[in-house]
Amino acid sequence: MSVVTQQVKDLATEAGFDLVGVAAATAPKTWDAFSRWLSLGYAGEMAYLERNPSRRADPAAILPGARSLLCVGALYHPGSSASTHEDRPTGRVSCYAQGDDYHDVLIPRLRSVLERIQARWPGTEGNVYVDTGPVLERDFAKEAGLGWFGKHTNLINKQVGSYFFLGEILLTLDLEPDTPAADHCGTCTRCMTACPTDAIVAPYELDSRKCISYLTIELRGAIPKTLREGVGDWVYGCDVCQDVCPWTIKHGRVTKDPALAPKPDRDRPALADLLRLDQAGFSERFRKSPIKRTKRRGLLRNAAVALGNVGTRSDVPVLSDALRDPEPLVRAHAAWALGRIGGDEATDVLREARSSEKEEDVRSEIDDALCAVGAEL
Ligand code: B12
Ligand code: SF4
pLDDT tens per residue across span 282-312: 999 999 999 999 999 999 999 999 999 999 9
The answer as to whether 166 is a domain residue is yes
| Ligand approaching nearest to the C-alpha of 240 | 2
Looking at the structure of the chain, the number of domains it has is: 2
Task: Give 259's Cβ-side CA count (13 Å radius).
Answer: 14
Give the residue ranges of the chain where pLDDT is below 70.
81-86
7/152 same-domain check: yes
Its sign, for the CA torsion 17, 23, 29, 35, is positive
Ligand 2 neighbour 241 (Cβ under 6 A): yes
Ligand 2 neighbour 152 (Cβ under 6 A): yes
- What pLDDT, in 10s, does the model give residues 134-158? 899 999 999 999 999 999 999 999 9
Q: Which protein residue has the closest C-alpha to ligand 2 atom 6?
A: 241
Domain boundary among 171, 189, 206: 171
Q: Which protein residue has the closest C-alpha to ligand 1 atom 22?
A: 136
Domain boundary among 136, 171, 206: 171
Task: Give which of 313, 323, 319, 315 is closest to 355, Cα–Cα.
Answer: 323
The answer as to whether 7 is a domain residue is yes
Task: Give which of 273, 215, 227 is closest to 90, Cα–Cα.
Answer: 273
Contact between 66 and 40 under an 8 Å Cβ cutoff? The reply is: no
State in Å: Cα 146 to ligand 2 middle: 22
Just list the catalytic residues. Answer: 131
Its sign, for the CA torsion 208, 290, 56, 150, is negative
The answer as to whether 161 is a domain residue is yes
User: What is the C-alpha to C-alpha distance for residues 146 and 161, in angstroms, rounded to an integer?
Assistant: 11
- What pLDDT, in 10s, does the model give residues 152-185? 999 999 999 999 999 999 999 999 999 999 999 9
The answer as to whether 226 is a domain residue is no
| Ligand approaching nearest to the C-alpha of 230 | 2
State in Å: Cα 77 to ligand 2 middle: 16
The CATH number linked to 362 is 1.25.10.10
Q: Which protein residue has the closest C-alpha to ligand 1 atom 27?
A: 34
Ligand 1 neighbour 211 (Cβ under 6 A): yes
Per-residue pLDDT, 249: 94
State in Å: Cα 42 to ligand 1 middle: 12
276/132 same-domain check: no
| Ligand approaching nearest to the C-alpha of 199 | 2
Report the atom number in ligand 1 closest to the C-alpha of 137.
Answer: 58
State in Å: Cα 45 to ligand 1 middle: 15
The answer as to whether 232 is a domain residue is no
Domain boundary among 120, 149, 171: 171
Per-residue pLDDT, 82: 59
167/18 same-domain check: yes
The answer as to whether 184 is a domain residue is no
27/166 same-domain check: yes
User: What is the C-alpha to C-alpha distance for residues 108 and 148, in angstroms, rounded to an integer?
Assistant: 27
The answer as to whether 335 is a domain residue is yes
27/145 same-domain check: yes
Instruction: Give the domain range for residue 311.
Output: 270-377
Would you put residue 253 in left (φ > 0), alpha (ψ -120 to 50) or beta? Answer: beta
The answer as to whether 333 is a domain residue is yes
Q: pTM above the 0.75 mark?
A: yes
